[in-house]
């Protein structure tokens, strides 16, 4: 599990380094690029009632990856989102910046989520990043990969299991300081 997390974090760092160069934009400038604005708008307006937004954003053959799944196709992605949003009572993304070069964008965000059965309905904060590639005949998103700590998102926020994991992490961190 730790090896997968290290590879995932290394992959995100590699993407960021590859995007670093000429034509690069970063951060929340006064004039956010059209793509950064589009991504922020989709993330903050997307829910079970607005699945049609995916049709304007994603190419029909989009490839999507996150720590849980790898999917191919817009319809498969919409089905995944419908399932994921089933218990969500509210979700909001705060974007801290982004990197854009050519047809690729990396955005950094903090998600605030409230969902039935997760942390007793209290807000869950999760830091993450999304790597998004545009292309194809439509010029829409052909690749979307989300990077985040699955343990911090799910396991630590489930009653009983979360307290065991937090206790174990605390004990392990003390052991590492000895």
pLDDT of residue 116: 86
- Is residue 12 assigned to a domain? yes
Mean pLDDT by 10 residues, the chain (178 residues): 54 53 45 86 95 97 95 97 92 95 96 84 90 95 94 62 62 61
Going by C-beta distance under 8 Å and a sequence separation of 6 or more, which residues neighbour residue 69?
80
- Is residue 120 assigned to a domain? yes
- Is residue 156 assigned to a domain? no
- Is residue 45 assigned to a domain? yes
- Is residue 54 assigned to a domain? yes
- Is residue 114 assigned to a domain? yes
- Residue 138 per-residue DSSP state: T
- Is residue 110 assigned to a domain? yes
- Is residue 82 assigned to a domain? yes
User: CATH no. for residue 43?
Assistant: 3.10.450.50
- Domain extent, residue 12, equals 2-149
pLDDT of residue 22: 37
Going by C-beta distance under 8 Å and a sequence separation of 6 or more, which residues neighbour residue 73?
60, 61, 62
Evaluate whether 124 touches 158 at the Cβ level (below 8 Å). Answer: no
Contacts of 33-37 with C-beta under 8 Å, sequence gap 24+, read 33/98, 33/100, 35/100, 35/105, 35/132, 35/134, 36/95, 36/98, 36/100, 36/105, 36/107
- Number of separate domains in the chain: 1
Report the alpha-carbon distance of residue 143 to residue 148 in Å, rounded. Answer: 17
């Amino acid at each position: 599990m730790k090896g997968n997390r290290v590879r995932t974090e290394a992959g995100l760092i590699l993407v960021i380094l590859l995007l670093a160069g000429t034509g690069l934009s970063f951060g929340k400038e006064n004039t956010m690029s059209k793509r950064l604005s589009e991504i922020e708008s989709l993330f903050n307006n997307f829910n079970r009632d607005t699945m049609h937004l995916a049709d304007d954003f994603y190419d029909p053959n989009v490839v999507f990856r996150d720590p849980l799944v790898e999917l191919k196709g817009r319809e498969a992605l919409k089905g995944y989102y419908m399932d994921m949003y089933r218990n969500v009572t509210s979700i909001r993304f705060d974007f801290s910046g982004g990197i854009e070069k050519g047809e690729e964008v990396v955005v950094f965000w903090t998600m605030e989520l409230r969902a039935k059965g997760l942390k007793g309905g209290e807000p869950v904060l999760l830091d993450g990043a999304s790597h998004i590639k545009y292309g194809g005949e439509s010029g829409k998103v052909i690749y979307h990969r989300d990077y985040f700590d699955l343990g911090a998102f799910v396991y630590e926020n489930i009653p009983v299991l979360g307290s065991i994991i937090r206790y174990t992490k605390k004990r392990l961190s003390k052991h590492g300081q000895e």
